[in-house]
Structure 1
Amino acid sequence: QDGIGHKIGLFVKGVSAFASAIVVGFIQSWKLSMIMLSGTVMLVLVTGFNGFMMRKTQTLSIDEYATAASLAEEVLASARTVTAYGTQSRFQKKYKIFMDKASDYDFKAKLWLSLIIAGVMGILNLEYALAFWQGNKFLHDGEVGVPNIVTAVMVIMAAGLSINSTLPHIQAFGTAVAAANKVFNTIERKSPIDPDSEEGEIPESFVGHVEFRSVNHIYPSRPDTTVLTDFSLEIPAGKTIALVGASGSGKSTIVGLLERFYLPVKGQILLDGKDIATLNLKWLRQHMAIVSQEPVLFSTSIYGCIAHGLASTKYADAPEEKKRELIENAARIANAHDFINELPEKYQTKVGERGSLRSGGQKQRIAIARAIVSEPKVLLLDEATAALDTRVESIVQGALDRAAEGRTTIVIAHRLSTIKNADNIIVMSEGQIAEQGTHEELRRLDRVYSRLVQAQELGSKVSYDNRTFLPREPKEKEGYEESDKSCLVRIETATPPTAMEKFEEEDGKDDSLWALIRFGWKMNTGQHTMMAIGLIFSFLAGCDPAIQAIILGNAINSLLSPGTSMGGLGIGFWCWMFFMLGLVNWLL
């Protein structure tokens, strides 16, 4: 954006001004123009070097500020944890270290900036001194007249300033080209898995029979780790299979491969006997739906959230009445219809950013409704109840059981109580099937699955007063529970100020310039001496244009009519005055 915006116009304007000034200057006096161009070269070198150093220190300063801001954001986001562990002072010291480094780099950047300004002003005055001294010599030799000298001096000065202000834009263009190259490479990259591609077979019918044949998979980011090894599994249409096992055993990879988020390194995945690599990707994903552990809801109404499940399906352009019917039916299956109707705005109730205005159970049921609204043949449940408490889990599990009816369902679960009714339970270990069967069959084997069940049953017991109790199984409810209601009551904790108090409070404020100056002076206690010195030198530096104008006028008078300048002083004196003004500018 920086390289294709207004800087293009400024660059063209600067180049045009430089070229035209050089042409005019050489027409008026090519010798004087050549001499003055030496000052222009110095101007470019000084600003180029100092500008490079300034940008370097500014970058370091910005990096330190960003690190400090990231730390502050992290601490504020986890304020309770920080307070609980009493680490406020530690993070405060850490934050101060970053801020001190940033302040140091920022001070150095301002130093380089001041050197740029001092160098430019000093060189300009030295150029005036050189130009009038050499111009006076050419005038006495009869080579040029006073108008030629003044014109050449002015246009070459303008050329120097133009090229000096134009050169930084070239860096912006270079940065823009480099950035654009990355962007265009990303845009033009042909993905091997293109969801918008029209290629691939679109079967006329789809039952939902899934089969994995000798599948091996390795993630590109972890080439040394084999996630799946010779994995083979057949899932009949309409059946529910569950995947259990330790983290990293390949459960989520199976779901990702089935959705074609990536392709297997070896082997095939078949749907109704057809390799999914040969099927149209958009069609494939239209017939699959996934419900994850942390559902992501967009900041819209409940109706809009569920309607997102109809996008890119055969119901995307259906009449509004048909869509509403599908959405309400999906909500009923997901045990969400009743609690939605209890809300003041029903289906038009806003869910907030990422569903922040809904409870965990409500979000999960809305996500289930979104998944099944398009009537997919394959349903993928990736630990859909893992983040819920026991009471809410029973409600959501009931919704999942109803949603799985008549669909090929693959469930990933750590809570084994939620998969007792699965048609087949697959126990994964290091990318392979350790054992499989129904819940009862695996319990009788008394191997990995049985030990997992025993461990979870033992962990669910609560010992108290030498007696052992098992938590009561919550009663499953099809509808909405009173405890799910969000009852928001506003309680006033302070009396609002009266109109007179507001007036007195506002009347006591002093927003004048003098008040701001006093506030700034008070905030910088301990730096008053440096501030006073800075103000004095800033005032003196601000007098430069006025002094320069006086010297310039007298220098031109000395050329036109020697003896008519202030005090009758000659051009040599005024050249030395330009020289002294340049040195003073650099020092200030």
Structure 2
Amino acid sequence: MEKSASSTEASPATQSDVDTAHNKEEENADQYSSKATNKTSWKNFLVMNIPAELSSAIDQRDRESSPIRHRKLVGNFSDFFSPTSTTTKQEFTHTINKFTLLILYLFIARWCLSYISQFTFRIVGLRISAKLRLAYLKALFSLPVGVLDTLPSGQASNTITTTANTLQVGISDKLGVFLQCNSLLLVVDLGYEFRTGRHWRHIWLAERFFTSLNDLLSPRFIPELDYECYLKLRRSYLRTVIPIIMKMTKEVEHADEKASSIAGEVLGSIRMIVACGAESRIAKKYSGWVEESRKRALKKSPFIGIQFAPRTIVVVLSSVMMIAMATSQTAAPILAAAAAANAATDFFAVIDTPRPDTSGLKGPDITAREDLALESITFAYPSRPHVKVLDDLSIKFEAGKITAIVGASGSGKSTIVGLLERWYNLEKQEIVIPPSAVKDPKAKKDEEEKPLGTSTPEDTEKKVHIDPSGSVRCGSHELKAIDLKWWRSQIGLVQQEPFIFNDTIAKNVEYGLIGSEWEKADAETKKKLVVEACKEAFADEYITKLPQGYETQVGDAGIKLSGGQRQRLAIARSIIKRPKILILDEATSAIDVRGEQIVQAALDKVSEGRTTITIAHRLSTIKKADKIVRSRLPWYLILLFGSMGAGACYPLQAYIFAQLISVFQYTGAQLTAAANHWSLMFFILAIGAFVVWFGMGWASNTVAAHISSTYRQEYFESILRKPIPFFDAEDNSSGTLTARVANDPTQLQQLLGINMAMVLTAIFNITGCLIIGFVFAWKLCIVVAFVALPILLIGGYYRVRYEIQFEKMNQAVFAESSKFAAEAITAFRTVTSLTLEDMISSRYEELLDWHVNAAMKKSRWSTIAFAASESMGLLCMALTFYWGGKLLGNREFGPLAFFVVYIAVINGAETAGVLLSFGPSEYRCLSFCGHGSPAESSAPCVTELESILGTTRETDQGKSAAEVINAEGGVKIELKDVWFKYPTRDIPIFTGLSICVSCRSTCAFSDHHADTGQIEKGQFAALVGPSGCGKTSIVSLLERFYDVQKGRILCNDNDISELDVHDYRKSLSLVAQEPTLFEGTIKENILLGVNESTPEESLHRICRDAEIHDFIMSLPDGYSTNVGSKGVLLSGGQKQRIAIARALIRDPKILLLDEATSSLDSESEKLVQAAFERAGKGRTMVVVAHRLATVQNADVIFVLGEGRVLEVGDHQALLRKRGVYYQMSSLLSGKSLKFKLTNRNDLTKDDHPANIFQCQSQALDR
């Protein structure tokens, strides 16, 4: 049995099992964190961060000296305004000027140090992120396929994109801000017991305040409040709250990864989703994980509030203004650092995984021209260790001969290929990726409905674990003793489902030279080899007809080529390096009759002298073998009022602080009473600050979770509703769209969470500071408002401008590199079989290096503006000192008014810097919401929301298809003068194609060379012809994946473009050439797009018709067996039969079969074909086929060529015409062409299939 599926659904667990699983998850997280610490060279990280850390610390040290300057300033002011003062106006002015000059020096120093800090941290973050992405990709390539099969669908791609971005944010700018804000705390903490002189507890102002507060409150309830107490509280907080936040963040990320994996899988197979009408079902499944993420995010809300509240109490009570501002900015960096730490565990879980030793013997010590042997092989896949695939199998493949492997689907044929390619080992493979602690919401619900401690006999039955055994040898050497890359370079593999990279045709074929003697050849030599290989594979004939020839871009996964064209390209890629061993896994399954026999002859030619292993279902191919919807107003109001209250704390603090300073003008009992009064005011302010900050933190996280959840669902559902041409665009590849679905809502959540709360707080703070400043000293405040603040805003404007440009470049380049990496991960088997790992890694490294270098150049200038705007607060302070000193010297106001304005200006300047730091995020949010036009926007995610939610959707309006389609006896189909070309291609497919009612049995041609024929109600109609002639295009037009440019397609005399598209598709079923399955159970895949409550009897009957029921029931979990990502746990034939069952269970009026039986063995094909003929009664069936045997019973056959109908009739009528169809039948039976080839040119002009079609077409034209 070949790859079968295993269930990923765990048996119902007891509560203790659940707790054990969660504990193990925590142990795994600790284990991988430990690995990240011990095995990774963090010395480089520390060395690179030394300049940044020192700069941040020294920068903060400037602020640290502020309280000492305050003490001197207060002393000078008290002396000057004291009734007994002897200080003159000149002396006072001289002191003010001295302080002003000192602040100017500090401004320059802080500008320089801030520049060094921010620039260094940004570059370090970029470099580390790039290195981790590259190391992760290399680590993936070094792991066996068996390990990668255990990874959840899409996790690897999500890690290298979204998770890497999260990590980068946490270790660059945010880390710099965090260290800068906490450097003072670190310095004081380390030197607390050793410092002398100007100690924090010796600051006169703080000492007087703490003394007054302790006098006011009983010592029994409030201990001595000093800096040591603050440090202890802070350390306790970090040890308790932060780990909880990190754990909850990890759970949210797990749920988001599940949602992203669904999006990636679905967007890569969007046509099948649309054909099945499963958009709502998939959207519901996606929404389940989004909702799970929202619920877990909401659990963080109180802890986010706690993140602010205790800090605020201590800050307000300590009255140390600069520490207040520094500490108030640590919330977002702490959360970013927590997210980065969680992201790092995903990276190091793979990077630190023990890698198998792939070194060993290579040429000339060993040759691949020896017999291959499988000896006593017993094997089960690591992801399904209970299902035996091979049982004591022994096979010998003689060197230089062709050995064929035949058998039923699922019998183990492709498993042999996996063992020969060394994708799987015969040794015990440890699954190293820790399982997610987040369960499927549906499974979780089922568990909750079942009482704990109950189980069924099936639950408790122990499954036998299969231990792999045996050996694979090349001559006398075991494969595990041979160098892995050298071995794979000796093999040419053509898979049943070929993967084509998003590159040019020439590059795709050229990839086959990796690891060969021509890898380093010059471009001219490579080009010659490419052309020769394409000619041998008969791909040259269609390549030369393309406008750009060999430089044609094939699109995402080769979407711009037909199935047969992709297959021939894969054959050319496999034979270009002239491999010693050739493995053909159904290599001609997607090639039409016209080309199959000649390509088979070419394969026979290249097989001469090589060890060739052919896997086939068709025995004819092996004859030569030798052997936002809900209102969240209350939370918005809490967020708004919380931000207002938090912003009001700072001007109120400035006022109370100034009042506290003014009390020292008094003496005796009056001084004590005033100090006690204002100390009580501080305490009341602290209580109020606790309430508003806690409420703001809770509300901001809640709002962010709700908005992100709603937006993510709407975003994904909107993409599912896009017309198919939307997905054909180069910018809308499945990898790009998956990254956007994952990243855009995350960015919006980050903005509308703590960041937006801080912005609102800053706005209210600035407003309050200006109001209180104008009230107390309008002459001083007017200068500050109209001189200092504009300076801040100008600096901030340039900062935002450069930041936006940097973010735009950052997103564009990392999107390109992430798309490249995601494609390589998706095609892992193709990459390893072609030994492209080093080439892919090198190219990926080049993309990352280019980005880092470009970012460095850009950051040099943007960081200047960044540092300048951050330092402008000191310039404002200097201006306030200078102008305020003059006004004080003239005694226009007193010290109270000055300190109120001065402290308000400090806070206003600092919070203005905070506000401006969120400029790029604000701009992105406006672009998301479509508030700006694309012409006016230059943000990184320009009008993302507008581009997705605003793009034209497939219309849900139109005539109901029920009355038109659901007529008895099937549906009559007509194509009238159809003109069509794909939106991304310049070459037209049809130029006047007509399949009309008027003259069904004639062979006359119109002016457009279009034959006439019809598909009557209930007919079995077949479309045959060479690859690229337009057969699949007709199916796509019937499915309304595309609309015609001209002409009409009629169903029962009704234009299908006037019908409701979703209603219309309910009456169709499609079985595509390449079967598409999705992550989930077999039952879920079969019932995709239909009612989940379908009776079991109907499900089993349909599966019996598709010849898959017996196989499903042989699996341990039956219909509940998980098929893996894209059905990776099943063989090609098994996937095809499940796809057939999915089509039949929809009970369609029109059944579309695009090479539906290409992956089946002969016996299964006959049975399924009979099932189709039974199912076709009362239905119209349109079949695309290369094998004429499958269409011999068709009521009408349309022979297509070069985008037009060449012949029409049933099988016997077409044979009697002795035209194109007769020639195709002769090719298949081998009666017309006899091949005895030494090279491709041995075919005569008349014998070549292309010329046969061309000559016949010309004859018919005449």
TM-score class, shorter: 0.5 to 0.7
Q: Which moved more, 1:112-121 or 1:227-236?
A: 227-236
Structure 1 distance, partners of 2:484, 2:257, is: 41
Name the CA shift for 1:527/1:314 in 2 (closer, same or farther; >3 Å): closer
Per-residue Cα deviation, 1:243-298 (whole angstroms, up to 9, x for no partner): 01134433233333434445554345234x66555555444333321111122222
Cα shift readout 1:13-64 (whole Å, capped 9, x = no counterpart):
4564125445443572799597323244345545765555555554444544
Matched, 1:544 2:644: no
Aligned amino acid, residue 560 of structure 2: L
Of the three residues 220, 226, 235, the one matched with 1:36 is 226
Q: How much does 1:346 deviate?
A: 2.1
Equivalent residue in structure 1 for 2:305, among 99, 106, 114: 114
1:586: which partner in 2?
690
Cross-structure match for 2:617:
414
* Matched position secondary structure for 1:289: strand
Query: What corresponds to 1:473 in structure 2?
Result: none
Quote the offset at 1:223 in angstroms: 5.1
Residue 553 of structure 1 pairs with residue 658 of structure 2: yes
| CA distance, structure 1, for counterparts of residue 605 and residue 175 of structure 2 | 62
Flag the structure with larger Rg. 1
Deviation by residue 1:521-564 (Cα, 9 ceiling, x = unmatched) = xx888555664565345323321111111111111221353499
Gaps of 5+ in 2: 1-128, 130-166, 211-223, 427-468, 693-1262
Instruction: Give 1:113-152 correspondences, 5 Å limit.
Output: 113-128=304-319
Counterparts of 1:108-507 in structure 2, within 5 Å, are 108-128=299-319, 182=349, 185-186=352-353, 189=354, 191-192=356-357, 194=358, 197=359, 199-203=360-364, 208-212=369-373, 214-219=375-380, 221=382, 227-229=389-391, 231-262=393-424, 265-267=469-471, 269-271=473-475, 276=479, 279-388=482-591, 390=593, 393-394=596-597, 396-424=599-627
SS in 2 for 1:216: strand
Cα distance 1:49–1:260, how it changes in 2: closer, same or farther (>3 A)? closer
Name the SS of the counterpart of 2:411 in structure 1.
Answer: coil
The C-alpha deviation readout for 1:219-241, integer Å capped at 9, x for no partner, is 46155565545544444443222
Contact 1:361/1:393 (<8 A) preserved: no
- 1:416, distance to aligned residue in structure 2 (A): 1.9
Helix, strand or coil: the match of 1:580? helix
Cα contact 1:14–1:165 (8 A) shared by 2: no
Query: 1:173/1:240 Cα in 2 relative to 1: closer, same or farther (>3 Å)?
Result: closer
SS in 2 for 1:269: strand
In the superposition, relative to structure 1, how do residues 75 and 200 fare at CA in structure 2: closer, same or farther (>3 Å)?
A: closer
Counterpart residue type for residue 517 of structure 2: K
Paired letter, 1:314: E
Output the CA distance in 2 between the equivalents of 1:207 and 1:12. Answer: 58
Mapped pair 1:17 → 2:184: yes
Q: Structure 1 counterpart of 2:416, which letter?
A: I
Task: Name stretches of at least 5 consecutive residues in structure 1 with no aligned partner.
Answer: 129-152, 425-522
Distance change >3 Å, CA 25–CA 365, structure 1 → 2: same
Letter in 1 for 2:619: L
Aligned in 2, Cα 1:40/1:561: closer, same or farther, shift over 3 Å?
A: farther
Percent identical among aligned pairs is 33
AA in 1 matched with 2:682? F
How far apart are the structure 1 equivalents of 2:557 and 2:419? 26
What residue number does 2:220 align with?
none
Structure 2 match to 1:476: none
After superposition, the CA RMSD in angstroms is: 4.3
Q: Structure 1 335/405 Cα, relative in aligned 2: closer, same or farther at 3 Å?
A: farther
Query: Deviation at 1:380?
Result: 0.8
Structure 1 residue identity aligned to 2:375: S
2:199 alignment partner AA: G
Q: Secondary structure at the match of 1:335?
A: coil
CA distance in 1, matches of 2:251, 2:318: 35
Which residue pairs with 2:679 in the alignment?
575
| Counterparts of 2:256 and 2:347, CA distance in 1 | 27
> Which amino acid letter does the alignment assign opposite residue 304 of structure 2?
L
Task: Report SS of the residue matched to 2:550.
Answer: helix
- Indicate the SS of the match to 1:41: helix
Partners of 2:496 and 2:586 within 8 A in 1: yes
Structure 1 letter corresponding to 2:572:
A
After superposition, the C-alpha distances for 1:322-375 in whole angstroms (9 at most, x for unaligned) are 333332222222112222222222222222232222222222212212211122
Aligned partner of residue 518 in structure 2, secondary structure: coil
Residues of 1 paired with 2:271 and 2:600: CA distance? 32
Amino acid at match of 1:546: P
Match of 1:579, SS? helix
What SS does the corresponding residue of 2:300 show, helix, strand or coil?
Answer: helix
Deviations 1:417-457 (A, max 9, x none): 22223222xxxxxxxxxxxxxxxxxxxxxxxxxxxxxxxxx
Q: Aligned to 1:305, what secondary structure does the other structure show? A: helix
The two structures have a TM-score, normalised by structure 2, of 0.32
Gap change, CA 1:554 and 1:40, over 3 Å in 2: farther
Amino acid corresponding to residue 116 of structure 1 in structure 2? Q
* Counterpart residue number, 2:48: none
AA partner of residue 356 (structure 2): S
Partners in 2 of 1:204 and 1:40 — Cα distance?
A: 67
Q: Is the 8 A contact 1:214 1:229 kept in 2?
A: no
Distance 1:278 1:107 in 2: 53
Q: 2:506, 2:338 → 1: CA distance?
A: 50
Contact 1:47 1:120 (C-alpha < 8 Å) held by counterparts: no
Cα shift at 1:119: 3.3
Instruction: State the distance in 1 between where 2:547 and 2:612 align.
Output: 35
Amino acid at match of 2:502: S
Distance change (3 Å), C-alpha of 1:341 and 1:545: same
1:291, 1:367 within 8 Å by CA — same for their partners in 2? Answer: yes
Partner of 2:1251: none
Deviation, 1:410, is 0.9
Distance 2:199 2:521 in 1: 74
Counterpart Cα distance in 2 of 1:286 and 1:101: 46
Equivalent residues of 1:381, 1:411 under 8 A apart: yes
Distance in 2 between residues matched to 1:283 and 1:552, nearest whole Å: 75
Change (3 A) 1:39 1:348: closer
Question: Residues 561, 524 of structure 1: CA spacing in aligned structure 2 closer, same or farther, 3 A cutoff?
Answer: farther
Q: Distance in 2 between matches of 1:526 and 1:9?
A: 37
CA 1:417–1:163 in structure 2 vs 1: closer, same or farther (change >3 Å)? closer
* SS of corresponding position for 1:543: helix
Tell me the amino acid that sits aligned with residue 266 of structure 1.
Answer: G
Structure 2 CA distance, aligned partners of 1:277 and 1:11? 49
Q: CA deviation at 1:572?
A: 0.7
